Structure formats: C-alpha cells, structure tokens
Structure 1
C-alpha cells in the first residue's frame, strides 16, 4: 500500500502517494548554468517532448504563408477553383494541427517548470534541515522566504528556453531556408538582421542583469528587516523601539525604491527596443520584397509569403528575447539559491559516532570551566547573557568545542544520540503552525493528561483556557496569535514534555511577571528532581530554586555555590542579581 503524504492531489481529496514524488537528486552546485543543466538532466524525456512539441508548433506556424502563397498563385491568379479549395483546406488542417500541438506544448512546458520549481524547493528544504540550527545564524528568515517565494519560480522559468527557445532557433533556420528558395537577397537580409538585433539588445541585457542582481540583494535585506519587525512587533511596542525600526525600514525601503527605479529604467529601454526593432526589421524586409515584386523578380504570392514569413519570424525572435530576459532573472535567482545550498553545516562532530555514556554522567565544558553534575539543577548567571548562551550552545553541541560527557568527547558521539538525550530550548525555538496539541507534541506520542501536566509546570494553563478549542485550537506560525509570555511558556512546556535526560533552558522565564516566574521556578525544580537541568538567567526567583549556581565573569567560571552563598560572598553577584547591572564585574579577589 502506498504511503500517502496527506496533501490533496489534483484528482480530488485523495492524498498524493509518496511514490508519485520524484526523487530530488543531488544538485550540481558548481555554478548557475550547471545547476540549470541539472534541472534539465533530471527530467530528460519530458524536456525532449517539450522541445519536440515546441519545434513542431513553431514549424507549424511557418506553413500557413507557404499555403497562402500557393492559394494565391495556383488558385486566384490561375483562376483555378479546385486548387483554391485544396489549399484552403490545407490551411484549415494546418491551423487545427498547430492548435493541438500548441496545447501539448503548453502542458508539457508547464510540467517542466513545475518539476524544476518543486525540485529546487525540495533541495532547499532538504539542505535547510541539514544545516539545522546554524541556518538561522547565517541566513535571515526574510532572505530564505524570498528565495522560496520568488526565486524558485524565476529559476523554473529559465527552462522555458528548452522548449520555445529551441523551437524558435529551428523555426528561424527553417524560414531562412524557405526565403533562400524565393530570393537569396531577402534571405541574406533576414539571416544577418537577427544577429544585428542581438548585438543592439545585448548591452541592455548585460546592464539589466547587473542592476537586477543589486536590486535582489537589497530586496532580500528589506524583506528580512520587515520579517524581523513583524515577528517582534509586540516587543518593539513594549520597549518603545517601534519608531526606530520604522525609520530603519523607511530608509531601507527608500534605498530599495531607488534600485527599483534603476532596474525599471533599464527594463523600459530593454522592452522598448526589443518591441520596436523587430517591427522596423519587418518593415525593411517588406519594402525590399515589394521592390522585388515590382521588378518582377518574385511573384505576388511569393511577396505575400515573404511578408507572412517575416511577420511570423517576429514570434521566434520575441521568444528568444523574452527567453534571454528570463535567463537573466533566473541566473540571478540561481546564484541566490546557490548561496544557500553551498552553505556547509557547522562542523561540531568528528564523525566517529561512538556510543554515548551511561545515564547519570557528568557534562564538562572546559572553555568556560562549567561542570554539570548529573541529577541536579544548575543555574548559569553572567552580566553578559551571550556568555551563558554560548556555554549552552557548547554543552548542546551546537558549536564546536572540547566538551566531554562522561569522559567521552561530545564531538565523538553520534549527533542523533546527542539530540535525543540533550535538549536545548531557547526563546528563538521555532513554533510551527498547527493545533496547540501538535505544537506541544509534534510526534503525537503523549496523552492529553501529560500535555496538561507539562503546561501546568510551565505556568501555561491559561494558554489552553484562553483559546476557543483548548488543545485543538489553531496556533499560527511562530505563535503569532500568542503573547510573548505565552510563546515562552509554550516552548518551555514543549521542552518539558520531551523529558530529555539533560535539559538546557536559556532564560525560560524572562518574559513573565514575578508571580508567574516564582510559580514556574518552584514547579520546574520539583518536576526535574533527580534529572539533569541547566537554566540561564539572572532572576533571583529562578536562581533561588537551583541546586547550584555558577557565576561567569568574562565567559569563565568565577564562583560556584548556592544562591544564598553567592549573595553572602560575592558583591558582584549581588549587584548583578538585584540591580541587573549590565556591566562586567571583575573577578572577586
């Protein structure tokens, strides 16, 4: 039985079977053109069909002028009704056949573009999962959204050149041959005229490519800033930073507007020249054909055919120009996609994949001197919160370090085992869209009673009661329909529900009031009794419930003790905890 994705298919409500999804393959990342060739090579027979139908369609457009010339010369001028009806019937048959081929061409090319877009999107998604947590540190959410929303479609449009583009070249060659049979001078004008058009338009294409690259870079930066503002709007309003960020966005969007004007200027010239030159070209060829007809060098029917040939020739020339424009935009987008696809995951492991230590082993981070004894709650506190966050990243193997666990270097363990046994939860952890139950229990392995228990420990009972359908209520991406405090408590509840062997919490109560924080600290200590837990933060309510507190100064261990002991012995600790002094204190002598 087929394994279904749960995504409705084009045949109705039946799910799309996984076996219907083509394998992504390994993209060629050595350059934009190689990446485009990889998209072509992954669907060779479909591309060949698209090329065949497009060529047949273009060639079909060339036949009507020939049929028209024969109808005029053999029917009208010869006053032969039978020949006129014959060629009129042939014209109708060609029109029907061309229409049918056009439908097949359009359908095939749509499938080619869809496959390319889908394959590129899946390659980006797959690589994003490989990059893991390092992705957000190296690529902004706005930039990633821009690549997925618009660049993927531009990349797919490049493959239009494989169908109408190839067909246009073949049709151009065919018309040139037919014109040689009528008049070599006319054929020479056509053969030499199109390269002249390319020479005139070429510099505009180069300038357009450069300006579009700059514009796309500014667009990604502006989109990233807009996404950051929207995601943090409540916080910005709370700290009075909305006006400042609004000014930054106004400046950034103003610069984007200037770049847009530059692109529009070049684009307008490009379209004007590409639209006018073929018409001028057609007029010149028609004038020459008329002169040849007057002098008797070609017949009236041949003159009409020449006009029709050249008029039809504008279509393949148009396809080539539009294809070149799509190629310019597409290659810019390919470079942006390659910038993402060529990112390498953070090198935090040695590749040895040794088995992990027994449960209850000590975690030691030598860079800072932090030791995490098993079965206790350890609090990390520092005047600079980045120092404690960096320690947590090293303890959780999100950055390379010499951290050991039970005497075994953490980098030597299989990453799957590290992620399964050591869980890092911070305030940037993503909240996916779905029901509240799915957000808290993505794997669907917990009972509702367990979920409610985790919510209770995290002080998030009100999140369930305030939503219309309880655990079945919809949560928007990143919890946008929740307050900042609710999002933080939902993240904490999700981490508690996972029940890892070692739980590392980065400032889990920074967005809640003092009463709620006290409740959470008490419940967290009870729930994690006998389990290894690390929390970071400078709140006395949280520190008082920790079994041991580690004070970091300049990223190094300066003192270890209980909250009460450090209050009595360390003036810098007292200043940090009770006054929240942001400055670094010197180590206690």
Structure 2
C-alpha cells in the first residue's frame, strides 16, 4: 500500500474511466492477486455442486460408501481451502481499495498545494471538501470490480461450461440470461449516473455555502443579513434533498433489480432442470448439481448489476477528481533575479511604497482594499508591484516565497503539539520559541496548557480562543523570520490590553526587517514607523500616526470609529477602553479623538 512519503505517480486525467484504470495499474501485483484469489474462490464454490453430483451418482445411488466418503472428504478439504482463500481475497481487496483511497488523497493534496493561491479562484471550497469526504471513498469502492468482478466473469463461464455437460439448453439459457438482464438494467444505471452527477454538484455548492455562512456569521449578524443567507441555505438544502430522493429512487430500483432479476432468471433455470430430470434427460445427481450451480450463480449475476451501479458512481466521483486535477497553477515565468538584499516594495496600483527595514502600517476604511494590497505585494494573484525596481511577477515564485511571507489572520492551524504547530521550515529551539511567544504576547497561552509547548493543539486551534489562535499565527510568522513580513490584521481578535502589548513588542522583534501590518487600531498604528492611509484603494496620506491624526480628517474619523468599536474582550478578560487609549496617543486641536 502507498506510503505517506511515496510518490503517488502521475494520474491519468483524460477521463473518469482512465483515472480508475490508472489506480488499478498503480498496484498491478495486488490487483492481479485480487483477481486471481477472487476467481479461484468463486470457481471452488462452483466445484462444490459438481462434487456433490459425483457423490450422489457415483456413491449414494449405487450404494458405494467408500466413494461417497471420498467425495465428502474432498468437499470438506475444498471448503476449508476456500474459506482461507476468502479471507485472503477480502484482505487483498481491502488493501486495493485503501491504496486507491490514500493514493487519490495524496494526489489531490499534492495538487492543491501546487495550485497554492490559485485554488480559491479556480475551485470552490465545497468542491474540494466533497472530493475529500465522499468522492474518494466512492471511487475506491468501485475498484471492488477488480476482485469479485473478475471472479464473477470467470465463474460464470466455468458454470456455463459445466452445464454444457449436463444440458445444452440449460447452458444456452444461462449464457443468454446476463445480456438480457444488462439490457433491462442498463438504462437505469445510465440514469443513475446523471442523477448522481447532479447530486454531487449540488452537494459541493451547499458545502461551500455552509463554509461561507459559518465563516461570516458575525459579519452577517452585524449587517442584518443572517436571515437572507439562512433562507438561501434552506433553499439549497431542500434542492439537495430532493435530488437525493431522485438518486435514492433510481438506486433502489437498480438494487431491487440486482437481486430480483437474477433470482427470477435462475428460478427459470432450476425449473427447466427439474423438467429435464422428470423426463429422465438428466440424472438425480445432475439435478442436484444444477440446484447448486444456480445457488452459486445468484451471487455473480447479482454482482454484475451491482458492479454496474458501483462503477457508475465511481466514474462520477473520478470525473470530479479529474476535473480538479486538470486545474493548472498560474504560470511562473519569472526569470529575473531577486534583489540581492533588502529592497523597496512598490505597488503602482495604490501608490504604496514600503521602505525596507521599517514597520509600515496600512489603514484602509475597507479592509478588502488593504488585503488586496497585501496580495499584490506578496504576489498572490495578478500584480504589477515591483521589488527593488524589478516586477514581482518577473522573479521566480520560489524566490518570492522564500523571502516575502504573507501572514493571514485566518490562516489554518494544523493539529499537533504546539511546538510543531508554530514551527516554520524546521522545529524552533526553546530560546527562539520563547522570543516569538514574548513578541506575540502569547506566553500565557503556553502557561495555560498542561504540557507547555509540547501540549497537543486541536486542528484549526479549536481548543483555543480566537485571540489565542491569532497570537499563535503571529508566533508562527515570527519564527519563520522572513525578510519581508506582510501581516493582515494580526491583532483584530485581541482585547485592548493584549493588543497594546503586541504592538509594543512587534517592532522590537522585527527590528531591521521589513514589516507591513494592515490595521485600523490606534494602538498598532501609533507604534508603526510609517502609516499609509488608503482611500478607495489609493494612498491618501502617509506619515506618522500622530501627524495624520492632526492633519487628516478622514484618517481621524477612521481611527475614532475603530476606537469606538473594540473587539470582544474574550481573550484575557481585560476591560481597557480603546477610545481611552486613543486619547493617550494623540488628539486634534478640537478634541475630535478623546
């Protein structure tokens, strides 16, 4: 089975069927073993009726106990061997399915990482989640056809051959029966494939809406839009439920026919055999063997129908995976060398210039404008920004990522020990970790954990408060120690006391390094070397915080608005008033900020 560090190979993305076949070819030995074990297991099941017929005709009817005992012993040995083969077949097929599952997960994760910042613009979060939660298991289940599927075909041919020795008409009925069943169930399986595809699409849309609703709940509450989004979610979920009913209706017919038609078909075979025995055309032993063959064939014939059902579902899932794998990352055509040392960042779209080695704060009335600026300066999307006079998109992406770090305030936190959660390229030593914790005012987070920095942290930091998670994200960014740090609202979830502490320590921790923070908090702005005030995405004013307070009415209003709406003080319980802090930072001649 694929190892976590093993190269999963290059998937065949020419279609759903080809992707399933690629999963089989990536494990040829195991797939062949599954087919061989499945075929042998089913053929030996069919051998039991044959041996029973011999025991009746050669031992029981002529009264030869020795022959009867010999055939009985042979049946026992074959049954024991077949039980062992069944265990090995099941183990092998479980490994085939698990390999397909994990290989697909690894391929998808590797590709998503390669897409990087282009992923949100190329695929919805709901689509990726749906692939990871449902499609991977569905396409892995479809590979069951490799073992029992091949075995069903083999045993069907073997039984048909054995029936030829009993009666040609019986063999003809058996050989012609499966095509008839396929003709009856084929339209349903095609309809199921279409309904399943639509269901998966709607499921992805609904999953994305759940993420949007959960992520923006507080904003929606503030804007009064929670009810509107809830109504949209309700309509989408009702559509998904209705589509699920349609899928279930078709699937129930496929499954019912999968059991009913083979049973009815084989009942006809049994009835024909009984008529032949009554006329003396076949012996009693042969009649018994026909009953046995019928019992053996019920499974393979039913599996043919279910195989079509599983394969159609698997192809739908594989097509969704292939569609994601076909997405290509934005081309990296950069060939020019990056600046040799610290250099100025310039964004022509906004007019922002970031002086190297200083702490620059960006204040914008609309946070999206500041976030867009950071994306351009960090080359997360189309940009005409320059770095030391060289366009960022002309510098190889690896060089940009190695020296410019964008720290988003909602970046993921992975599960594991806290020390590993905040680690950058390599685990941090105790001294470096202590310095970063101090700079981010996160020492109390570690002190509150039972095992300190070695304490486990739940995925996405669910075991921590919002402010604690934000400070750990800042710790991670500081441990990376990039040449240029672009931090988006790094203190937005902190209470005033903690925010003031972080603002006071961040500059010292990043002394001599280029740092840009987006914020409208006066506690942060006052600590910056330079504040850039954006209006409609353009630079309206630049300078120290106190000078802008005195000279820019728009900036003063922006800072006063932020001071009047402090974040929830749920991180440390402090009750310092931000507005009071603003008063200590600076006022205008008319006392507009107090």
Q: TM-score, normalised by structure 2?
A: 0.87
CA contact (8 A) 1:234 1:484 kept: no
Which stretch of the first structure deviates more once superposed, 225-234 or 153-162? 225-234
Task: Give the SS at the match of 1:492.
Answer: helix
> Aligned in 2, Cα 1:494/1:236: closer, same or farther, shift over 3 Å?
farther
User: Structure 1, residues 489-523: CA drift from partner, whole Å, max 9, x if none?
Assistant: 22122212222111111111222233332332222
Determine the structure 1 residue equivalent to 2:449. 467
Tell me how far apart the structure 1 counterparts of residues 124 and 464 of structure 2 sit (CA, whole Å).
Answer: 22
Q: For the Cα contact (< 8 Å) 2:254–2:305, is it kept in 1?
A: no
Q: 2:409 aligns with which of 427, 432, 437?
A: 427
Superposed displacement of residue 463, structure 1: 1.8
The residue aligned with 2:509 is 527
Which residue, 43, 55, 73 being the options, matches 1:71? 55
Mapped to 2, the partners of 1:239 and 1:535 lie a distance apart of 26
Cα distance change of structure 1 residues 251 and 460 upon mapping to structure 2, 3 Å threshold: farther
In the superposition, relative to structure 1, how do residues 469 and 219 fare at CA in structure 2: closer, same or farther (>3 Å)? Answer: same
- Counterpart-to-counterpart distance in 1, 2:31 and 2:389: 57
SS at match of 1:149: helix
| 1:255 paired to 2:239 | yes
Partner of 2:280: 296
Q: Residue 85 of structure 2: SS of its match in structure 1?
A: helix
Give deviations 1:259-307, integer Å, cap 9, x for gaps: 2222222222222221111111122111111222222222222222222
User: How many Å separate the matches in 2 of 1:133 and 1:351?
Assistant: 17
Q: Pick closer, same or farther for the CA change 1:206–1:129 going to 2, 3 Å.
A: same
Structure 2 counterpart of 1:489, from 471, 476, 483: 471
Contact kept? 2:440, 2:472, Cα under 8 Å: yes
Counterparts in 2 of 1:571 and 1:22: CA distance versus 1, 3 Å:
closer
Q: Give CA deviations for 1:336-393 in whole Å, capped at 9, x if unaligned.
A: 222322222233x3142x4321222111222222211112222222222212111111
Q: 2:432 aligns with which of 427, 450, 462?
A: 450
Deviation of residue 146 (structure 1)?
Answer: 3.5
Equivalent of 2:32 in 48, 68, 87: 48
Partner of residue 566, structure 1: 548
Structure 1 counterpart of 2:139, from 119, 142, 155? 155
Root mean square deviation, CA, Å: 2.7
Equivalent of residue 178 in structure 1, options 153, 162, 172:
162
Aligned-partner Cα distance in 2 for 1:299–1:447:
84
Once structures 1 and 2 are overlaid, which stretch shifts more, 507-516 or 58-67?
A: 507-516
Aligned partner of 1:337 in structure 2 is 321
Maintained 8 Å contact 2:424/2:479:
no
1:507–1:172 distance in 2 versus 1, CA, 3 Å: same
Write the mapping of 1:92-491 to structure 2, written as runs, cut at 5 A: 92-136=76-120, 138-141=122-125, 143-226=127-210, 249-347=233-331, 349-352=332-335, 354-491=336-473
Q: How far off is 1:236 after superposition?
A: 7.7
Q: CA deviation at 1:38?
A: 0.9
Unpaired segments ≥5 residues, structure 1: 1-9, 11-15, 582-589
Shift of 1:425: 0.6
- Tell me, yes or no, if the aligned pair for 1:567 and 1:574 is still in contact at 8 Å: yes
Aligned residues: 563
Provide the rounded CA distance (Å) in 1 between the counterparts of 2:224 and 2:436: 34
Q: Relative to structure 1, is the Cα distance of residues 278 and 223 closer, same or farther in structure 2, using a 3 angstrom cutoff?
A: same
Q: Give the direction of change, closer, same or farther, for the CA distance of 1:268–1:307 in structure 2 (3 Å limit).
A: same
Q: Distance in 2 between matches of 1:488 and 1:181?
A: 77
Match of 2:280, SS state, is coil
Counterpart-to-counterpart distance in 2, 1:204 and 1:489: 56
Relative to structure 2, which stretch is displaced further, 29-38 or 399-408? 399-408
SS in 2 for 1:375: coil
Change (3 A) 1:439 1:239: farther
TM-score if structure 1 supplies the norm length? 0.88
Q: Which residue in 2 is equivalent to 1:83?
A: 67
- Secondary structure class of the residue paired with 1:217: helix
Deviates most, 409-418 or 279-288: 409-418
1:36 is aligned to 20
Q: Which residue of 1 aligns with 2:42?
A: 58
Structure 1 distance, partners of 2:427, 2:260, is 66
Give the aligned partner of residue 505 of structure 1. 487
5+ residue gaps, structure 2, are 564-594
Offset, 1:35 = 0.7
